[in-house]
């Protein structure tokens, strides 16, 4: 199978600047803001359907199981391409007014990238649905540096267009932020312009919100296109307070450098209600223009199940009305 190599516009690596790691936020205030947003993010009726479909189109549909096979990766990709049967919306909506509804990406292990590429190619979706591969010793990162870098190259050669790397939490926990930066720079270089780089902070293992902020900053300085909360394998994953700290880092980084970085909550976003809370958080902080696949994603394996339930039930209610 011949893989078509693409070239992307990617973020630049900037010089390490310790001044960007200075923190100025109140943790109680962050928790209060996050709580208020979660309480305001209840919608119903056609608005809930619209939010659910928006969340779907921002989702990296994910399978990261030890028993993944070519067959279940193919099923994942087919579902990402066709989450609803084509005629589903015809009774309730003018089909021509709806966008082509599909997930933003599929996310798999490097060994399964070729399976995803083959299926998306068969469905003519390679230009619409990205292939993300977790790499660099996911989820722990406890491998030699050269091995982690080789994994990036392997995934890209197999057809990955996005690489979700894990940072070295050991360096972060001892405060060696320049060491974290140097490793991510090498990972940015390994991706080059052939793939976007999403850096997983594994926030549940960083020990503090201050470390979440600093990890966000050093990854962005190193050239990350996205900062991502979690592997989904930690005890604590994506939470709104963590998201708000990462957003503050994104905003300050943009103010200081002019460079724009995306956000990806992953792990724990299981329901449409969860997704609406995150969408509301982004809308009220970064702005509506951030709610596009180029700047915001959900990493999820079970979210699509709830999206499908909400949309089908909502459409059934509209048809009865």
The CATH number given to whatever domain includes residue 246 is 3.20.20.70
Residue 132 has phi, psi (to 5 degrees) of: -100, 140
Of 38 and 101, the one with more pLDDT:
101
Mean pLDDT across the stretch 194-198?
A: 98
In the structure encoding, which two tokens stand for residue 257, read together?
């450098």
CA distance 135 to 117: 17
Q: What is the pLDDT of residues 173-195, one digit of tens each?
A: 999 999 999 999 999 999 999 99
Residue 5 in this model has a pLDDT that exceeds 80: no
Specify the number of domains making up the chain: 1
Closest CA to 118 of 66, 81, 165, 65: 81
Considering the domain boundaries, does residue 84 fall inside one?
yes
CA distance 117 to 122: 9
Distance from CA of residue 252 to its chain's centroid?
A: 20
Q: Is there a catalytic annotation at residue 264? A: yes
pLDDT band at residue 93, thresholds of 50, 70 and 90? low
Q: Under the phi-then-psi rule, with left for phi > 0, alpha for psi from -120 to 50, and beta for the rest, what region is 267?
A: left
Choose, from 54, 214, 264, 274, the residue flagged as catalytic: 264
Considering the domain boundaries, does residue 217 fall inside one?
yes
Q: What is the pLDDT of residues 40-65, one digit of tens each?
A: 878 888 899 999 999 999 999 999 99
Cross-sheet strand order for the sheet of 196-200: 262-264, 226-228, 196-200, 162-166, 130-135, 105-108, 59-62, 298-300
Q: Average pLDDT of the chain?
A: 94
CA distance 154 to 151: 5
Considering the domain boundaries, does residue 21 fall inside one?
no
In the structure encoding, which two tokens stand for residue 31, read together?
């928790």
Contact 222, 13 (CB under 8 A): yes
Considering the domain boundaries, does residue 2 fall inside one?
no
Considering the domain boundaries, does residue 4 fall inside one?
no
pLDDT at residue 92 in the model: 61
Q: What is the pLDDT of residues 204-214, one digit of tens each?
A: 999 999 999 99
pLDDT at residue 101 in the model: 92
Closest CA to 185 of 142, 139, 152, 234: 152
pLDDT at residue 21 in the model: 97
pLDDT at residue 171 in the model: 98
Q: Is there a catalytic annotation at residue 115? A: no
In 3-state terms, what secondary structure has residue 258? coil
Mean pLDDT across the stretch 210-230?
A: 98
Choose, from 125, 198, 214, 228, the residue flagged as catalytic: 228
Lowest mean pLDDT among 40-54, 176-190, 228-242, 291-305: 40-54
Could you tell me the residue range of the domain that residue 139 belongs to? 26-320
Considering the domain boundaries, does residue 188 fall inside one?
yes
Considering the domain boundaries, does residue 61 fall inside one?
yes
Choose, from 54, 60, 115, 164, the residue flagged as catalytic: 164
Contact 197, 10 (CB under 8 A): yes
Q: What is the pLDDT of residues 110-159, one digit of tens each?
A: 999 999 999 999 999 999 999 999 999 999 999 999 999 999 999 999 99
Q: Is there a catalytic annotation at residue 17? A: no
Considering the domain boundaries, does residue 11 fall inside one?
no
């Amino acid at each position: 199978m011949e893989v078509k190599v693409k070239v992307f516009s990617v973020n630049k690596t900037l010089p390490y600047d310790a001044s960007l790691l200075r923190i100025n936020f109140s943790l109680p205030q962050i928790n209060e803001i996050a709580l208020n947003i979660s309480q305001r993010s209840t919608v119903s009726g056609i608005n809930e359907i619209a939010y659910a479909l928006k969340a779907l189109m921002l989702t990296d549909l994910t399978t990261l199981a030890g028993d993944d096979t070519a067959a279940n990766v193919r099923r994942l990709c087919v579902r990402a391409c066709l989450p609803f049967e084509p005629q589903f919306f015809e009774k309730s909506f003018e089909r021509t007014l709806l966008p082509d509804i599909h997930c933003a990406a599929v996310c798999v292990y490097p060994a399964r990238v070729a399976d995803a590429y083959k299926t998306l190619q068969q469905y003519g979706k390679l230009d619409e649905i990205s292939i993300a591969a977790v790499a660099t010793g996911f989820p722990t990162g406890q491998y030699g540096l050269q091995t982690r870098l080789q994994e990036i190259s392997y995934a890209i050669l197999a057809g990955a267009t996005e690489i979700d790397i894990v940072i070295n939490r050991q360096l972060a926990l001892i405060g060696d932020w320049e060491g974290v930066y140097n490793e991510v720079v090498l990972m940015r270089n390994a991706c080059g312009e052939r793939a976007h780089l999403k850096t997983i902070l594994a926030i549940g293992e960083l020990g503090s919100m201050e470390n979440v902020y600093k990890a966000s900053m050093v990854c962005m300085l190193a050239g990350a296109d996205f900062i991502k909360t979690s592997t989904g394998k930690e005890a604590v994953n994506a939470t709104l307070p963590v998201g708000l700290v990462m957003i503050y880092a994104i905003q300050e980084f943009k103010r200081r450098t002019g460079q724009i970085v995306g956000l990806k909550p992953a792990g724990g976003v299981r329901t449409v209600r969860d997704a609406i809370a995150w969408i509301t958080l982004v809308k009220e902080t970064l702005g509506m223009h951030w709610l596009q696949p180029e700047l915001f994603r959900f990493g999820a394996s079970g979210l699509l199940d709830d999206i499908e339930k909400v949309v089908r039930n909502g459409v059934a209610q509209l048809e009865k009305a």
